């Protein structure tokens, strides 16, 4: 399986583009690597993060079909797996040349992945997998569900660490260029919440345009990235650079 775990493959988090379709981000060789692996007139599958929000599913299907084609990656069609057809996940994967793990709310998506048995189903998938934001986070063996909704950081029952798909060991935190200044529940998201959660663990914060790619069994991060470990943060790489995580 060719695994690409992105922060955002097109556009920038929380920023509306004036152009449509929004082309895929070519930073750090992302599109170039995809083109080397791409099959003409590919068929894709989006696995939803919000399985009951059909409007989001249908909009993603349209926008990513247009984005891939506009970027020179020919797509015949993209289907969506959500609450309408989750029982068909096996056949949907068999038909797909590439799979997109959608962005959204990490725990909600994580629960849906478990419901449809995605971890087991992906063991026979040997094509292209692209994670977006929450989808990238849920691809790890151990997932860090960084609190993002009001009350999550103060809820003693909120589970910040979840079992993921086990595709990688690297725990990604996306959209760092935007979220590094966020406040949640009256606290700084990173300094007051995430830094404490990093004791004994390693999180890799990446900006939009950066991504992780598995190459020869190694997990390689491309683009600007930061390591958060034991309550401290340090910059690892700049745009155009890469580093082996594990």
Structural domain including 33 reads 2-244
Determine the pLDDT at residue 62: 95
Determine the pLDDT at residue 100: 98
Q: What CA–CA distance (Å, rounded) separates 34 from 155?
A: 40
Determine the pLDDT at residue 177: 96
Q: What CA–CA distance (Å, rounded) separates 215 from 221?
A: 10
32: how many CB neighbours lie within 10 A of its CB?
9
- Mean pLDDT by groups of 10 residues along the chain of 246 residues: 96 76 94 97 97 95 96 97 96 97 97 98 95 98 98 96 98 97 97 98 98 95 98 98 94
**pTM: predicted TM-score of the whole model, two decimal places:** 0.95
CATH number at residue 131: 3.40.50.880
CA dihedral 243, 168, 233, 241 (to 10 degrees): 20
Determine the pLDDT at residue 32: 97
27: how many CB neighbours lie within 10 A of its CB?
17
Determine the pLDDT at residue 13: 78
Q: What CA–CA distance (Å, rounded) separates 55 from 60?
A: 9
**Domain tally, the chain:** 1
Contact yes or no for 190/233 (Cβ under 8 A): yes
3-state secondary structure 48-100: CCCCCCHHHHHHHHHHHHHHHHHCCCCEEEEEEECCCCHHHHHHHHHHCCEEE
Q: What CA–CA distance (Å, rounded) separates 41 from 199?
A: 46
Determine the pLDDT at residue 70: 96
């Amino acid at each position: 399986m060719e695994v690409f775990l992105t922060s955002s493959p097109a556009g920038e988090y929380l920023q509306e583009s004036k152009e449509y379709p929004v082309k895929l981000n070519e930073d750090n060789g992302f599109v170039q690597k995809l083109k080397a692996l791409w099959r003409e007139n590919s068929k894709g599958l989006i696995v939803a993060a919000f399985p009951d929000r059909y409007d989001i599913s249908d909009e993603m299907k349209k926008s990513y079909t247009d984005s891939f084609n506009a970027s020179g990656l020919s797509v015949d069609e993209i289907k969506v797996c959500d609450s309408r057809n989750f029982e068909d996940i096996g056949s949907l994967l068999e038909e797909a040349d590439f799979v997109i793990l959608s962005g959204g709310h990490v725990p909600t998506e994580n629960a849906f992945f478990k419901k449809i048995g995605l971890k087991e189903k992906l063991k026979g998938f040997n094509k292209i997998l692209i994670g977006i934001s929450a989808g990238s986070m849920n691809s790890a063996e151990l997932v860090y569900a960084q609190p993002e909704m009001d009350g999550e950081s103060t809820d003693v029952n909120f589970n910040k660490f979840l079992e993921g798909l086990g595709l990688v060991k690297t725990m990604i935190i996306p959209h760092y260029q935007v979220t590094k200044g966020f406040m949640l529940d009256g606290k700084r998201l990173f300094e007051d919440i995430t830094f404490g959660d990093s004791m004994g663990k390693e999180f890799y914060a990446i900006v939009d345009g950066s991504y992780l790619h598995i190459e020869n069994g190694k997990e390689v991060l491309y683009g600007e990235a930061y390591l958060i470990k034991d309550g401290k943060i340090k910059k690892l790489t700049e745009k155009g650079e890469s580093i082996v995580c594990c």
